[in-house]
């Protein structure tokens, strides 16, 4: 298995599966919207839906999500991202919308324990998988997990808009790399951006958390 | 009487210490609610159809495809047929719909026929900008020609920096809910704003109702940096659409519009000549500068040379360029970073031309600045922190593939306080409540108010409740120009001291002494001279009776409470790979004069944040326009590049905190440290590679071009 395949398997959605899913969505959207002729034409060549790629929508569909250990159901269009389902339909607004295209990491949540950009995962794709948000991380630790306490102690936040995403990225990094050095942590956290410039505090926070500060 | 003056630092338990911010737990747990997070029942989402050209006329616009979509509730044309758009991403029409996805798709379906018109997006070349460049008047001193002729060495420098955008992570916008209250038309506006007390009037105007009926809320906001003082068209539209539909409406800009329209920092380019005497004394300065503030016109009011304003003979001229790009807004120390770059680069080049150590050259000429003593002290401290003496090598001496360099820059800023009012409520159970209409941009405004109040009452921080971000609290000016902390800290102190006086009067009989001899410390109210006895604070407050004491404090200026005018020095150490052109920042040090610090932890965070913004400006970020269509080529965070956590190097901060500095009172810290880093890094790169990289950000291609020259 190549590294790329491994990464794709690890992410739970293969590139092939994702593209096929996109094809099915485009087909469905084209069927509903006769005005969008281009979409219909493009969809003609799309692969037929198979048993492995269920066809959703385009009307809102019931989506069951396992969020922070609880099952939540929302009715959303299949094009709705996990981020928008959380923020706009479940009022879980901890994850933030900043770039909306998998660059800045403000929307980071854990999917089966792995950090993902929730702006680039569809809600329908997240079904059957364990979703952990920044709110859930805090609640499962009585209001603040060790990494969150370390963020506060090290002032790893100014305006705070990148903070929830950074917290989840740090938490994911910490779980996967318990013995990491400071430099390894910096290299591992390159997927999140901050505009106020709190990187010094974030670096100190993750180093403290790796050292076991902030409790368990 | 309780003393209004700041207490002696050695007697303080909170003031000036490193205190974690009060809203830190809410921010790190995702509980903090920003405007973007506000979800109201039956709320509509609004999205825009925008202009794809730098300048174009709307030939026709058809909104029927949007209006006919299920879920679309309202469509408003903002640019009717035959009107002109003068900047890419300008709003042409707005759609309000049941969901974000429907609103976005409906906006996309609006059909617009365009007639592209002549435009200019060139901001870096006076000749290419043609008639859009308006040369300003030349200013020249009588002795200039003679001075520059007589100079032992005349150095020449060409350097500049691109247009930056504010790139606030929470984009600009508001949620407005229009509804009748007690028979009167009223509205609540959640707004991501730097001016909670003042912005209500804009919503009122948009709604045609009384400002008194608009409730503005901004509990948390995701960055402003100078770009969020007004409600803007976007807030006004949220208001109008809410009134029209009878439902709450959310307007938050998509990232592309935020980068294109919602604020930018003007570019600045310059050709400089510096005349220097044999001993290193600067005798003459000449500069021709140009740049653009976008469709608002000029590039501000540049004042060259920067910091070294007393160079005896000068010749200066500036050419602002009008471009069809988003307008400039205040951007963390407006104009200073650009003027700092032009000046410090030219002086650094003069030092190199003369073969003098840059540090010695700057020190030699401190008499040409407004605060020679401050800079002298700061230069020595910064030099120690970065190891200047050990590491310095003359420009161009290094021949390896990877070369190290050192550079420095100096800056100045005002930072005096704005007008602020803080209300203190001292409850009979000993709890304290502070209300202020200010807002927290990430600086730690809540925490500043809390620390000052808790210190004044001798209470732990958790006994104090701080309420801000609401126009129903006492007025506080907009947060900009490093004016907030000096204002809210002194107003809080003023309010709390008045409340304390009332408390002392109430308990004086019980404590067998005059009110003037009492003090509140360590949770007790007792005689000033005694170290034991007295009344626990809560017991003392019970003597107030059933009603709380309410006092109002205002900004205090002078008398050691607050002041303005600071100087700062920064030094940078870089490594340049001469094969790839990649610059790596190894270390930046900041030494900053700041008056009296309220919270060392958040103050240092702010300084480091400013330095990181400087690293971004020096190496990564710039707005890139397409000269053919006039549109913006990098309206996203993938290609509008910000530094990541591993890109910023080591950041060392030293805030000057001595009795002399404390005696000046509180001074704002937001802008000053954001000024020097770009210039210091530019100088460090020049030192490393022996040539000036002509433009920031110093991307690999520009570094390689400089190496070839």
pLDDT of B530: 80
Domain boundaries, chain A: 1-58, 137-210
Residue count of chain A: 216
Question: Touching check for B532 and chain A: CB below 8 Å?
Answer: no
B96 and B220 share one domain: yes
**Nearest CA-CA partner of B683 in B668, B670, B696:** B696
Q: How many domains does chain B have?
A: 3
Interface test with A, best of B24, B479, B485 (most A CBs within 10 A): B24
Q: Is the predicted pLDDT of residue A33 greater than 70, yes or no?
A: no
Shortest CB distance from A158 goes to which of B171, B605, B646?
A: B605
B34 touches chain A (CB under 8 A): yes
Tokens 């060790």, residue located:
A146
Contact A155 B442 (CB under 8 A): no
Q: Do B29 and A144 touch (CB under 8 A)?
A: yes
- Give yes or no: residues B572 and B627 share one domain: yes
- Chain B residue with Cα closest to A35: B65
DSSP B579: T
Contact B223 A77 (CB under 8 A): no
Q: Which of residues 151-170 of B touch A (CB under 8 A)?
A: 167-170
Q: What is the DSSP letter of B328?
A: P
Query: At residue A32, does pLDDT exceed 90?
Result: no
What are the tens digits of pLDDT across the range B496-551? Answer: 999 999 999 999 999 988 999 999 999 999 998 887 789 999 999 999 999 999 99
At B457 the pLDDT is 98
As a whole number, the mean pLDDT across chain B is 96
User: Six-digit token pair at A102?
Assistant: 């998998």
Using omega within 30 degrees of 0 as the cis cutoff, is the peptide bond preceding A170 cis? no
B636 phi and psi, to 5 degrees?
-155, 170
Q: Which of B195, B228, B252 is the last residue of a domain?
A: B252
- Provide the CATH number for the domain formed by A137-210 in this structure: 1.10.150.120
Residues forming beta bridges with residue B273, ordered by sequence position: B156, B286
Q: Are B643 and B649 in contact (CB under 8 A)?
A: no
Is A41's pLDDT higher than 60? no
B423 with B522, same domain: the answer is: yes
Q: Is it the case that residue B254 has pLDDT exceeding 50?
A: yes
The reply to whether B441 and B512 lie within a common domain is yes
Section B428-444 average pLDDT: 97
B33 touches chain A (CB under 8 A): yes
Provide the shortest C-alpha distance from residue B331 to chain A (in Å).
13
Residue A200 makes CB contacts below 8 A (sequence gap 6+) with B605, B608, B648, B651
- Please name the residue that has the structure tokens 């740090």: A170
Identity of the residue in B36, B643, B651 whose CB atom sits nearest the CB atom of A200: B651
**Closest chain A residue by Cα to residue B192:** A159
**Rounded CA gap, B251 and B175, in Å?**
6
Q: Higher confidence at residue A51 or residue B200? A: B200
Q: Please tell me whether residues B399 and B438 are part of one structural domain.
A: no
Interface contact B30-A93, CB threshold 8 A: yes
Binary contact (B638, A195; C-beta < 8 A): no
State how far residue B251 is from chain A, nearest Cα, in angstroms: 14
Both tokens assigned to B17: 């210490």
Average pLDDT for residues B385-400, to the nearest whole number?
96
Q: Find the angle CA(B317)-CA(B157)-CA(B643) to the nearest 5 degrees.
A: 100
Residues B312-349: tens digit of each pLDDT = 999 999 999 999 999 999 999 999 999 999 999 999 99
Same domain, B599 and B635: yes
Report pLDDT digits (tens) over B40-60.
999 999 999 999 999 999 999
Tell me which of B252, B281, B300 is where a domain ends: B252
3-state per-residue secondary structure call for B113-182: EEEECCCCCCCCCHHHHHHHECCCCCEECCCHHHHHHHCCEEEEEEEEECCEECCCCCCCEEEEEEEEEC
Chain-chain contact of B30 with A197 (C-beta, under 8 angstroms): no
Q: Which of B521, B554, B587 is the last residue of a domain?
A: B554
| Among A54-63, B166-175, B463-472, B594-603, the least confident range | A54-63
- Please report the pLDDT score of residue B302 as a whole number: 66
In chain A, what residues touch B677 (CB-CB under 8 Å)? none
Positions of E strands within B225-380: 249-252, 264-265, 268-276, 282-292, 313-321
Residues B400 and B493 in one domain: no
On whether both B189 and B81 belong to a single domain, the answer is yes
Q: How many CA atoms lie within 13 Å of A39's alpha carbon, on the beta-carbon side?
A: 16
Farthest CA pair distance, chain B: 85
User: Do B409 and B381 share a structural domain?
Assistant: yes
Mean pLDDT score, A17-27: 43
Asked whether the beta carbons of A178 and A127 are under 8 A apart, the reply is: no
From chain A, pick out residues whose CB is under 8 angstroms from the CB of B612. Answer: 194, 197, 199
* Nearest chain B CA: its distance from A152 CA (Å): 5
Instruction: Point out the residue among A144, A167, A195 whose CB comes nearest to the CB of B223.
Output: A195
Q: Is B28 on the interface with A (CB under 8 A)?
A: yes
Q: What is the pLDDT of residues B451-501, one digit of tens each?
A: 999 999 999 999 999 999 999 999 999 999 999 999 999 999 999 999 999
**Per-residue pLDDT tens digits for B50-106:** 999 999 999 999 999 999 999 999 999 999 999 999 999 999 999 999 999 999 999
Coil, strand, or helix at residue B435? strand
Residue B141 lies in a domain: no
* B677 belongs to a structural domain: yes
B10 inside domain: no
pLDDT of residue B251: 98
Euclidean distance between CA atoms B443 and B421, whole angstroms:
18
Residue A43 pLDDT more than 50? no
Distance CA A127, CA A111 (A): 10
User: Which residue in A has a C-alpha nearest to residue B648's C-alpha?
Assistant: A199
Q: Are residues B427 and B541 in the same domain?
A: yes
Main-chain phi, psi angles of A2, to 5 degrees: -75, 165
C-alpha span between B222 and B32 (Å, rounded): 11
pLDDT at A21 over 80: no
Residue B493 lies in a domain: yes
Yes or no, beta carbons of B30 and A35 under 8 Å apart:
no
Q: Which domain holds residue B183?
A: 35-117+172-252
Residues A32-55, mean pLDDT to the nearest whole number: 48
ipTM for this prediction: 0.97
pLDDT digits (tens, 9 = 90+) for B588-619: 999 999 999 999 999 999 999 999 999 999 99
pLDDT at A23: 42
Same-domain pairing of B541 and B676: no
B543 and B597 share one domain: no
pLDDT in tens, A97-154: 999 999 999 999 999 999 999 999 999 999 999 999 999 999 999 999 999 999 999 9
**CATH label of the domain that carries residue B57:** 3.90.1170.50
Is residue B643 pLDDT above 50, yes or no? Answer: yes
Closest-CA residue of B relative to A78 is B101
Q: Is residue B271 part of a domain?
A: no
Q: Give the best residue of B28, B469, B615 to mutate against chain A (max A CB count within 10 A).
A: B28
Closest chain A residue to B256 measured between Cα atoms? A99
Q: State whether B23 and A99 contact (CB < 8 Å).
A: no
- Does residue B310 belong to any structural domain of this protein? no
% pLDDT > 90, chain B: 96
Q: What is the pLDDT of residue A111?
A: 98
Position A40 pLDDT exceeds 50: no
Q: Rounded CA gap, B650 and B573, in Å?
A: 10
Q: What is the pLDDT of residue A18?
A: 45
Gap between the Cα atoms of A88 and B333, Å rounded: 36
What is the CATH number for B505? 3.30.365.10
């Amino acid at each position: 298995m190549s590294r790329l395949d491994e990464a794709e398997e690890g992410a739970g959605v293969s590139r092939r599966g994702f593209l096929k899913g996109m094809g099915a969505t485009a087909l469905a959207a084209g069927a509903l919207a006769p005005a969008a002729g281009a979409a219909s034409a493009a969809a003609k060549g799309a692969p037929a839906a198979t048993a492995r790629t269920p066809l959703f929508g385009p009307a809102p569909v019931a989506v069951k999500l396992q969020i922070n250990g609880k099952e939540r159901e929302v009715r959303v269009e299949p094009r709705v991202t996990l981020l928008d389902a959380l923020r706009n339909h479940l009022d879980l607004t901890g994850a933030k919308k900043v770039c909306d295209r998998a660059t800045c990491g403000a929307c980071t949540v854990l999917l089966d324990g792995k950090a993902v950009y929730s702006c680039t995962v569809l809600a329908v794709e997240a079904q059957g998988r364990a979703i952990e948000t920044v709110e859930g991380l805090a609640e499962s630790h009585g209001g603040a997990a060790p990494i969150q306490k370390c963020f506060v102690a090290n002032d790893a936040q100014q305006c705070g808009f990148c903070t929830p995403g950074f917290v989840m990225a740090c938490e994911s990094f910490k779980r996967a790399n318990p013995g990491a050095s400071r430099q390894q942590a910096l290299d591992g956290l390159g997927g999140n951006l901050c505009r106020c410039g709190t990187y010094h505090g974030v670096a100190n926070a993750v180093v403290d958390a790796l050292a076991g500060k902030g409790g368990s | 009487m309780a003393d209004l003056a700041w207490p002696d630092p050695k007697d303080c338990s909170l003031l000036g210490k490193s205190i974690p911010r009060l809203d830190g737990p809410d921010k790190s747990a995702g509980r903090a609610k920003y405007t973007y997070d506000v979800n109201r029942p039956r709320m509509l989402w609004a999205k825009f159809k925008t202009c794809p050209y730098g300048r174009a006329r709307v030939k026709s616009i058809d909104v029927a495809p949007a209006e006919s979509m299920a879920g679309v509730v309202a469509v408003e044309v903002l640019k009717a047929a035959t009107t002109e758009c003068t900047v890419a991403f300008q709003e042409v029409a707005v759609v309000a719909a049941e969901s974000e996805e429907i609103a976005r798709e409906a906006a996309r379906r609006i059909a617009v026929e365009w007639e592209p018109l002549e435009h200019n997006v060139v901001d870096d070349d006076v000749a290419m900008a043609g008639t859009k460049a308006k040369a300003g008047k030349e200013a020249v001193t009588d002795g200039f020609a003679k001075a520059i002729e007589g100079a032992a060495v005349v150095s020449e420098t060409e350097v500049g920096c691109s247009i930056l955008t504010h790139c606030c992570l929470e984009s600009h916008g508001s949620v407005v809910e229009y509804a009748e209250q007690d028979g009167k038309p009223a509205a609540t506006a959640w707004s991501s704003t730097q001016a909670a007390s003042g912005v209500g009037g804009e919503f009122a105007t948009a709604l045609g109702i009384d400002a008194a009926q608009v409730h503005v809320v901004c509990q948390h906001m995701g960055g402003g940096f100078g770009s969020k003082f007004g409600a803007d068209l976007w807030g006004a539209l949220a208001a109008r659409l809410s009134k029209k539909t009878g439902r709450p409406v959310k307007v938050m800009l998509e990232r592309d519009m935020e980068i294109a329209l919602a604020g930018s920092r003007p570019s600045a380019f310059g050709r400089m000549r510096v005349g220097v005497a044999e001993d290193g004394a600067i005798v003459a300065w000449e500069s021709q500068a140009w740049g653009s503030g976008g469709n608002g016109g000029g590039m501000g009011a540049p004042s060259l040379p920067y910091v070294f304003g007393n160079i005896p003979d000068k010749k200066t001229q500036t050419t602002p360029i009008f471009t069809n790009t988003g307008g400039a807004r205040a951007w963390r120390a407006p104009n200073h970073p650009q003027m700092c770059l032009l000046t410090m680069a030219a002086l650094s080049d003069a030092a190199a031309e003369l073969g003098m150590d840059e540090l010695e050259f700057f020190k030699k000429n401190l008499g040409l600045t407004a605060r020679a003593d401050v800079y002298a002290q700061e230069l020595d401290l910064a030099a120690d922190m970065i190891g200047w003496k050990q590491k310095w090598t003359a420009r161009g001496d290094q021949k390896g593939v990877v070369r190290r360099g050192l550079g420095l820059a100096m800056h100045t800023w005002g930072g005096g306080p704005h007008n602020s009012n803080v209300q203190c409520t001292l409850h009979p159970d000993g709890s304290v409540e502070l209300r202020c209409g200010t807002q927290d941009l990430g600086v730690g405004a809540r925490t500043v108010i809390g620390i000052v109040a808790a210190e004044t009452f001798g209470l732990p921080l958790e006994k104090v409740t701080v309420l801000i971000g609401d126009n129903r609290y006492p007025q506080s000016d907009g947060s900009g120009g490093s004016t907030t902390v000096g204002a809210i800290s002194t107003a809080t102190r003023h309010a709390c001291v008045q409340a304390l006086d009332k408390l002392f009067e109430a308990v004086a009989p019980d404590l067998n002494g005059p009110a003037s001899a009492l003090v509140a410390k360590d949770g007790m109210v007792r005689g000033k001279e005694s170290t034991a006895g007295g009344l626990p604070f809560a017991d003392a407050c019970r003597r107030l009776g059933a009603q709380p004491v309410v006092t109002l404090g205002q900004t205090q200026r002078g008398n050691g409470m607050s002041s303005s005018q600071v100087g700062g020095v920064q030094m940078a150490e870089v490594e340049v790979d001469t094969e790839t052109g990649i610059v790596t920042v190894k270390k930046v040090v900041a030494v900053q004069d700041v008056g009296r610090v309220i919270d060392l932890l958040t103050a240092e965070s702010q300084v480091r944040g400013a330095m990181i913004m400087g690293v971004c400006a020096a190496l990564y970020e710039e707005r890139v326009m397409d000269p053919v269509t006039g549109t913006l080529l990098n309206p996203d965070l993938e290609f509008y590049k910000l530094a990541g956590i591993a890109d910023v190097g080591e950041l060392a901060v030293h805030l000057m905190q001595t009795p002399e500095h404390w005696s000046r009172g509180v001074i704002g810290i937001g802008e000053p440290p954001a000024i020097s880093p770009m210039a210091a890094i530019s100088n460090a790169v020049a030192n490393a590679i022996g040539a000036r990289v002509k433009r920031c950000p110093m991307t690999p291609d520009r570094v390689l071009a400089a190496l070839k020259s």
